[in-house]
A = this chain, B = another copy of it.
Amino acid sequence: MVMELDLGTARPLLEAWLREDIGHGDVTTGAVIPAGMLGRARIEAREPAVVAGLPLAGLCFEIVASTPLSWEAKVTDGSEVEAGEVLAVVEGPLGAILTAERTALNLLGHLSGIATLTRRFVDAIAGSSTKIVDTRKTTPGLRIFEKYAVRTGGGANHRFGLDDAILIKDNHIHAAGGITQAVTRARDNAPHVAKIEIEVENSGQLVEAIEAGADIVMLDNMSPQEVRDAVDATAGRAMLEVSGGVDLGNVAAYAAVGPDLISVGALTHSAPRTDVALEVER
């Protein structure tokens, strides 16, 4: 999906996040930095990374500055950068730069961490036609940004929330009385525009799901061999998504047997933060 980052939507969130850090004012900067002092600073990566969130970081500085400030990105989101590489240069009122620094870096480091981990998964299955997708295991309040970071890293997005797709999980199946009943209820009651995805745990359930008319089947915690069998049994009648137990060590083995999708919760819930820093030039 090629949707761009919507800075209009982001702005009020950034304002709230800056307010979370700044409160009634940055007392250190207010007391120590001479009024009107200008400065120029570089945003740098301190480790190799795929950059995500650079426009958000720039917007942080612009929001805080009350006098003119320039922001020049040196790379674009999605770029692979080296340790020490300069990502952007910000120039303007030094006080504002130091006040906005932490929020900007917290966001940039978090999103770049997600993009970087996603890229590793994508690279690990290079050459296959399988897509790496995210999950709803995101940080509360950050979903649109974290899913943007996944796209930036080369992954694709699974559903954004409970309202834009049908995904029938084991608890739904049990409550409905079985796979066939659950799929039938979904078809009868859900919006006609939504595909029906259902989670299965074995090949018997897979067959029942396909025959009930599921559009997508999520294979829960299966081995690569089990996935291979599922691909064969499905024969293109439904999309297949591998879910559970996937890591960088085994993702290639899963991709090799031909599922359409591999979903990885860790992309958004366990990506290590990318170390980024701001250096004032002297």
Interface residues of A (CB under 8 A from B): 1-4, 6-9, 13, 15-17, 19-35, 37, 39, 63-64, 66, 94, 98-99, 102-103, 106-107, 109-110, 131, 133, 136-144, 147, 156-168, 171-172, 174-176, 182, 185-186, 188-195, 197, 215-216, 239, 260-261, 269-270, 272-273, 280, 282
Contact = CB atoms under 8 A, between A and B. Distances in A.
Contacts of A167: 28, 193
Most buried by B among A22, A34, A131, A171: A171
Contacts of A273: 137, 269-270
B16 A139 contact: no
A171 B42 CA distance: 13
17 contacts: A2-B31, A6-B25, A21-B161, A23-B23, A24-B161, A25-B144, A28-B168, A30-B189, A32-B175, A33-B175, A34-B176, A98-B171, A131-B192, A141-B141, A160-B163, A164-B191, A192-B195
A261 B24 contact: no
Q: So how many copies of this chain end up in the complex?
A: 6
Most buried by B among A98, A161, A188: A161
Contacts of A35: 2, 4
Nearest to A104: B140
A3 B9 CA distance: 28
B166 A164 contact: no
A28 B34 CA distance: 32
B27 A3 contact: yes
Contacts of A16: 141
Given A1-B189, A167-B28, A22 B161 contact: yes
A2 B94 CA distance: 15
Given A31-B1, A31-B185, A141-B142, A26 B174 contact: no
Nearest to A19: B9
A203 to B, nearest CB: 22
Contacts of A160: 23-24, 163, 191
Most buried by B among A66, A140, A175: A140
Closest 8 CB pairs of A and B: A23-B163, A165-B193, A31-B189, A3-B30, A17-B140, A26-B162, A164-B164, A31-B190
Nearest to A186: B31
A265 to B, nearest CB: 9
B7 A27 contact: no
A38 to B, nearest CB: 10
Given A7-B66, A8-B63, A27-B164, 20 more contacts: A1-B27, A3-B30, A8-B64, A8-B66, A21-B162, A23-B160, A23-B164, A29-B162, A31-B185, A31-B186, A33-B176, A37-B175, A106-B136, A106-B137, A131-B192, A139-B142, A140-B142, A160-B163, A192-B261, A193-B197
